[in-house]
């Protein structure tokens, strides 16, 4: 079992009380803060750190009212900070993104993280565009980094573009892919159905890093339910999670030993 960290945005807002909506800008303005967050997640017992790169696309920066030309720089800095902390502790660094944005992807790749994760894929076409673009950019740079794929689905296990995950996940499988899973979602029977099918029909690792509404015990219980039936290999937290969620999740693993 591989343990991921929690949500960077939630941690910044809830723990550090920083109001700036563009958390990725902090890679430039407060790199020591991002470094500290990664260090604290290491102390919580994680195996992998997710870089503060998710919302570095031009579209996301534009929506925040930020300079969209900073997409590459913010992504590069976020990836670099994460890589350095992970390497220090012999852990893995993961650069995350969602939308097909060349500048953001180039920044993540040039920051030299160990793994790339396309996460919160809510739209089939955009997800495939992101996958094709990152492979194109790696080919251009003569790189081949492992890719993790993670979808956001509703309670019925459907992407927000309408397709059931169980029907479309195979479109994302190729030699680059090391895991497929779900994030930014709650545990439902539809989610369990999708994860079971992926686990049964592939040799890939299956991931699940859900949201939390603040009920840490439920968060831990839901993940352990999936571990008990052996349908997930990689777990962690998404929106609403912070150090406490990951610490309690880690403790629940140790209690079973």
Q: Tell me: the pLDDT tens digits for 132-186?
A: 999 999 999 999 999 999 999 999 999 999 999 999 999 999 999 999 999 999 9
With a cut of 70, say whether residue 223 has pLDDT above it. Answer: yes
Q: Tell me: the pLDDT tens digits for 26-66?
A: 999 999 999 999 999 999 999 999 999 999 999 999 999 99
The β-bridge relationship of strands 48-50 and 234-235 is: unpaired
CA-to-CA distance for 200 and 148, rounded, in angstroms?
Answer: 18
Q: What's the CATH code of the domain at 208?
A: 3.20.20.330
Domain range spanning residue 18? 2-255
Number of domains in the chain: 1
Residue 113: other Cβ atoms inside 10 A? 25
pTM: 0.97
Say if residues 108 and 116 touch (Cβ distance below 8 Å).
Answer: yes
């Amino acid at each position: 079992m591989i343990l991921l960290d929690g949500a960077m945005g939630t941690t910044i807002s809830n723990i550090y009380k920083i109001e700036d909506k563009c958390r990725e800008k902090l890679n430039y303005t407060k790199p020591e803060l991002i470094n500290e967050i990664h260090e604290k997640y290491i102390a919580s017992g994680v195996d992998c750190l997710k870089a503060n790169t998710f919302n570095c696309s031009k579209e996301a920066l534009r929506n925040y009212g930020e300079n969209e030309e900073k997409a590459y720089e913010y992504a590069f800095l976020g990836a670099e900070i994460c890589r350095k902390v992970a390497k220090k502790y012999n852990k893995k660094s993961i650069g995350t993104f969602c939308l097909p944005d060349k500048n953001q992807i180039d920044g993540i790749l040039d920051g030299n993280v160990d793994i790339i994760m396309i996460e919160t894929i809510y739209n089939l076409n955009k997800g495939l565009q992101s996958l094709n673009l990152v492979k194109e950019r790696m080919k251009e740079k003569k790189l081949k980094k492992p890719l993790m794929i993670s979808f956001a689905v509703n309670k019925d296990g459907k992407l927000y573009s309408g397709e059931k995950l169980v029907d479309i996940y195979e479109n994302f499988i190729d030699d680059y892919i090391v895991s497929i899973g779900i994030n930014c979602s709650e545990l439902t029977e539809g989610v369990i159905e999708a994860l079971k099918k992926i686990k049964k029909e592939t040799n890939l690792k299956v991931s699940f890093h859900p949201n939390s509404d603040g009920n840490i015990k439920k968060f831990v219980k839901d993940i352990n339910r999936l571990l008990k039936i052996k349908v997930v290999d990689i777990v962690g937290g998404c929106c609403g999670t912070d150090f406490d969620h990951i610490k309690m999740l880690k403790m629940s693993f140790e209690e079973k030993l």
